[in-house]
Amino acid sequence: MAERLSRRGDKHVIASGITPSGVFHIGHLREILTADMITRACHARGLDAEFIFIVDSADPLRKVYDFLDPEYERYIGHQLGTIPAPDENGKPGDGSITYAAHFLNPFMEALKQIGVEPRIIDNLDSYRQGEFADSARIACENVAEVREIIESKSGRELPEGWYPYNPLDSQGCLDGVTVTGYEWPHVHWTDSHGESGSADLRKGEGKLPWRLDWPARWHSLGVTFEPFGKDHGASGGSYSTGRPLVQLFGSEPPEPLVYEWILLRGVGAMSASGGITVGPLVALELVPPEILRFLIARNKPNKHIEFDTGSALVELTEEYRNLLSNIQEMEAEVDSDSSKRASTALITKKASLLYSQVKEGEEVNYESRKISFRHLAMLAQIRSEDEDVWASLERGGLIESAAEAGGELEDRLRRMRIWLASEHFPEPFRLRVQSEITDGAGEFLVAEEHLEYLKMLEPLIRGCEWKSKTINDAVCDTARREEIGLEVREAFKLLYWVFLDQNFGPRLAPLFHELGAELVLVQLEKAIDHLTI
């Protein structure tokens, strides 16, 4: 996309926009991070590119959403930048902060944490400052042509009395207003209260309908690129009507990029107004910001993403770490004789890491690959003190010394502990180290080969050097002995039942290493006694 934009010129305005109708969610990050990454790509090509973020505070409150008190009924049709924010009970607050700012401010804090700091443009201010007056004038002077464009492109007939400008009524509402005439710069109207008046296009006493508002901002702000969801990009959607309308205003349409939704796993598309959300600030409490950037950077825009703050985050963090581990190996394998497909795959994967970094131009930290999510999750559950976690990592050769544990690693452990204490941590990954043989384990421990395996393993564990490698060798080599007749996978499942009361878990040897020889041997003996009885 940056290459395509370079053919259009050296200076670019890259836009993203949002209506602050409710709590912002991870789904909103797809558009914003796509725009941010393309801005960075333009900078890398030497282009003068600016990223702007447009807040649609001039949009009206469309209904009383589930999270609002019925008192908001009186604000339906009023602009989000003019009505009071809800209090903790969903009732209209004291007006010290607007509805739009209430939902926008936490989201902007999240954007800052993930390295996105665009120029903010408040759409309501733009209207009030007359920045859309020129587009509104052209629309009002060419009503028939505007109507024909929208109807022919969208394939739907506009209602009788439709007008390309929505004036505010006597109560400051955009609903129930009938336009009765126009002479620059005024649109004349009557409202449902029996009042009549005039709206000055230069002062934002109303707004353009969405299908005109969008091309008007392209024209006013000189937008050359904007990503948008598949609803706007569909045939007959608002981009289809926006192209000829922005040309009517005197500008060229921006380069488009259509993206798919981020879906909440098991629920569907996220919706701020519908309350189907996972907030970015919630996710940022759990994982480092580069992981949320990676969520977008790793996927082609036309591919939908399933997400939640449990297993999906586990998979995402592990994929990021694995890519860090494998990328240098991939580089060594790809040379001038490699296929184009292999070379392209390498470029794509390197780019997904590069654009995941919080600071623009920041080098990828390949050292963070040493400690996996699962290993850190295990240590955080077994060791309540951070110092004990650092000591375990030092013993395992994953860090040189405890002094190395500051900065990024300390931040990762802090977030991990928040995650573990929250409702978001996936239960299958929660460790429940057992001190007895549970009913579930007892139902599994029935075969003769289980007893033979444990009886042969116990002295090897007792006598081995207490290191992960030697522990793992003892566990695997015992299962491979011909007289046991047990697959290695079955042996691991057996031991997970004995120690965790489930048939899977973290890497077994590091788990045993952290639990300590005494605890491991006691539990093995209890399992042997259970089978013997």
Helix axes 373-382, 311-333, angle to 10 degrees: 140
What Å distances lie between residue 192 and 64, 125, 198, CA to CA? 20, 26, 15
Neighbours of 365 (CB within 10 A): 12
Contacts of 335 by beta carbon, 8 Å cutoff, 6+ apart:
none
**Out of 278-287, 467-476, 495-504, which region has the weakest mean confidence (pLDDT)?**
278-287
| pLDDT of residue 393 exceeding 60 | yes
Q: What is the DSSP letter of 31?
A: H
pTM for this prediction: 0.88
Task: State how far the Cα of 112 lies from the Cα of 281, in Å rounded to an integer.
Answer: 11
Phi, psi of 121 (to 5 degrees): -125, 115
Position 270 confidence tier, pLDDT thresholds 50, 70, 90: low
Check residue 491 and give its pLDDT: 95
Chain centroid to Cα 179, Å, comes to 42
Residue 70: cis peptide before it, omega within 30 degrees of 0: no
Contact criterion met (CB below 8 Å) for 138 and 240: no
Return the SS3 of 407.
coil
DSSP of 374-388 = HHHHHHHHH-SSHHH
Q: Rounding to the nearest 10 degrees, give the CA dihedral for residues 351, 357, 361, 367.
A: -90
User: Where are the strands (E) in 59-132, listed by range?
Assistant: 119-122
DSSP of 277-332 = ---HHHHHHHS-HHHHHHHHHTS-TTS-EEE-SSHHHHHHHHHHHHHHHHHHHHHH
Position 497 confidence tier, pLDDT thresholds 50, 70, 90: very high
- Give the β-pairing of 225-229 and 255-259: parallel
Contact criterion met (CB below 8 Å) for 312 and 287: no
Specify which residues 187 forms β-bridges with: 182, 199
Here the tokens at position 6 are 């370079």
Task: State how far the Cα of 302 lies from the Cα of 230, in Å rounded to an integer.
Answer: 9
Mean pLDDT of the chain: 92
Check residue 274 and give its pLDDT: 54
Position 533 confidence tier, pLDDT thresholds 50, 70, 90: confident
Phi, psi of 206 (to 5 degrees): 155, -170
Neighbours of 173 (CB within 10 A): 20
Here the tokens at position 398 are 């994953």
Task: State how far the Cα of 112 lies from the Cα of 93, in Å rounded to an integer.
Answer: 27
Here the tokens at position 54 are 């447009």
Residues 7-64 have pLDDT tens digits of 999 999 999 999 999 988 888 899 999 999 999 999 999 999 999 999 999 999 999 9
| pLDDT of residue 489 exceeding 70 | yes
Task: State how far the Cα of 73 lies from the Cα of 148, in Å rounded to an integer.
Answer: 35
Here the tokens at position 530 are 């259970």
Here the tokens at position 200 are 């000055």
Task: State how far the Cα of 10 lies from the Cα of 67, in Å rounded to an integer.
Answer: 45
AA identity, residue 91: K
Check residue 272 and give its pLDDT: 53
Specify which residues 11 forms β-bridges with: 48
Position 309 confidence tier, pLDDT thresholds 50, 70, 90: confident
Contacts of 367 by beta carbon, 8 Å cutoff, 6+ apart:
none
Percentage of the chain surpassing pLDDT 70?
97
Contact criterion met (CB below 8 Å) for 206 and 165: yes
pLDDT mean over 131-136: 98
Most confident of 201-215, 389-403, 480-494: 201-215
- Give the β-pairing of 119-122 and 48-55: parallel
What Å distances lie between residue 239 and 33, 189, 214, 244, 297, CA to CA? 20, 29, 8, 9, 24
Q: For the chain, how long is the longest CA-to-CA vector?
A: 98
Element (H, E) at 135: helix 133-141
DSSP of 170-214 = TTSBSSSEEEEEEETTEEEEEETTS-EEEEETTTTSEE--HHHHH
Task: State how far the Cα of 104 lies from the Cα of 57, in Å rounded to an integer.
Answer: 10
Residues 185-233 have pLDDT tens digits of 999 999 999 999 999 999 999 999 999 999 999 999 999 999 999 999 9
Contact criterion met (CB below 8 Å) for 293 and 114: yes
HSE toward the beta carbon, residue 346, CA cutoff 13 A: 17
Task: State how far the Cα of 402 lies from the Cα of 393, in Å rounded to an integer.
Answer: 8
Position 515 confidence tier, pLDDT thresholds 50, 70, 90: very high
| pLDDT of residue 276 exceeding 60 | no
Check residue 269 and give its pLDDT: 60
